[in-house]
Amino acid sequence: MIRLDSIERVFQVGNENVYALNNVSLKISQGEYITIMGPSGSGKSTLLNIIGLLDRPNKGFYILDDVNTTDLSDEQQALVRRHKIGFVFQFFHLVPRLTASENIELPLILAGMKPEKRKDRIKLALEDFRLADRAKHRPDQLSGGQRQRVAIARATIMEPQVVLADEPTGNLDRASGKEVIEILEKLNKKGIILILVTHDPDLGNRAVRKISMVDGKILDDTLALESSKYRLSDK
């Protein structure tokens, strides 16, 4: 469960204060599928970073699983990221000198899991994401779609509650993009909260809940239910 309460994030550009997020409140329940859309600079990436605990708001509360994360120290936030949040990036962010399976293994290594236990998990993940024959390949030997599948495997290896994807198909051709989205949606069906930031309206329309942002504010938050639309808020 995610609850954002009047979040503000201000960046100083020269002498001016720029509001990347301006009084944003949001509630997300377990297993939701949400897309965040909006023009460049509308604050959607900042919102994602705040939810992912990579960034701290200047004002407001962020409660994740009944824990007020704004009170947590840096190291505690790192622990929450490790166990509850998975990231998928537009540029994959694989470590170039590690093989596919080693990249997937990284979060387990950071968590200090024993090698024997890691092996089983990775084997399973490689099979789930159809990467078993690519396990020993380095990122530069993989196609874009395969790289993003490795990245998703890495994001989910710790069994997080939330997967945050920032333009996950932005660097992929249509076919691979579709495949990646289907994988993410499958994860969502298993109960993981999926939050997708995208420019692509086709992608945006696939989600049950659509949030559109402009100038650091939530413009529209709609729920598509059985072909009819309900407005969740009128902000």
Partner 1 sequence: MLTNDFIKLALNSLISQRLRSFLTALGIAVGIASVVLLTSLGEGIHRFVLSEFTQFGTNLIGITPGKSTTTGMSGAVISNVRPLSMNDAEALKRIPQVIAVVPVVQGNAQVEAGKRSRRTTVFGVGANAPEVWQIKVALGQFLPDDDPAAARSFAVLGSKLRKEMFGMDNPLGQRIRIGGERFRVAGSMESKGQMLGFDLDDAVYIPAAKALSMFNRESLMEIDLLYAEGGDADEVAKYATDLLIARHGKQDFTVTTQEQMLEVLGSVLEILTLAVGALGGISLLVGGVGILTIMTIAVNERTAEIGLLRAIGAGRIQILALFIGEAVVLASIGGLAGLIVGAGGAWILGLFVPALPTHTSWFYVVTSEVVAAIIGLLAGVMPARRAAGLNPVEALRAE
Amino acid at 122: I
Nearest to partner 1 of 126, 157 (CB atom) = 157
Nearest to partner 1 of 114, 190 (CB atom) = 114
Nearest approach in angstroms of CB 93 to partner 1 is: 4
Nearest approach in angstroms of CB 95 to partner 1 is: 6
73 closest CA partner among 91, 88, 56: 56
Nearest to partner 1 of 90, 212 (CB atom) = 90
Nearest approach in angstroms of CB 48 to partner 1 is: 10
Nearest to partner 1 of 116, 226 (CB atom) = 116
Residues that bind partner 1 (CB under 8 A): 49, 52, 54-55, 74-75, 78-79, 81-83, 87, 89, 91, 93, 95, 97-98, 106-107, 109-112, 114-115, 154-155, 158
Nearest approach in angstroms of CB 179 to partner 1 is: 23
| 97: number of Cβ within 10 Å | 10
Dist CA 54 CA 168 (whole Å): 18
Give the HSE-up count for residue 200: Cα atoms under 13 Å, Cβ half-sphere: 17
Which whole-number Å values give the CA distances from 85 to 12, 36, 187, in the listed order? 28, 17, 13
Residues in contact with 52: Cβ distance below 8 Å, sequence separation at least 6, in sequence order = 81, 85, 87, 162, 164
The two structure tokens encoding residue 74: 């840096």
Nearest to partner 1 of 91, 230 (CB atom) = 91
Nearest approach in angstroms of CB 154 to partner 1 is: 7
SS3 88: strand
Give the helix ranges, DSSP H, for 93-217.
100-110, 115-128, 144-156, 174-189, 201-204
Nearest approach in angstroms of CB 164 to partner 1 is: 9
| 90: number of Cβ within 10 Å | 17
Nearest approach in angstroms of CB 172 to partner 1 is: 17
Residue for token pair 């989600």: 207
Nearest to partner 1 of 94, 218 (CB atom) = 94
Nearest to partner 1 of 52, 177 (CB atom) = 52
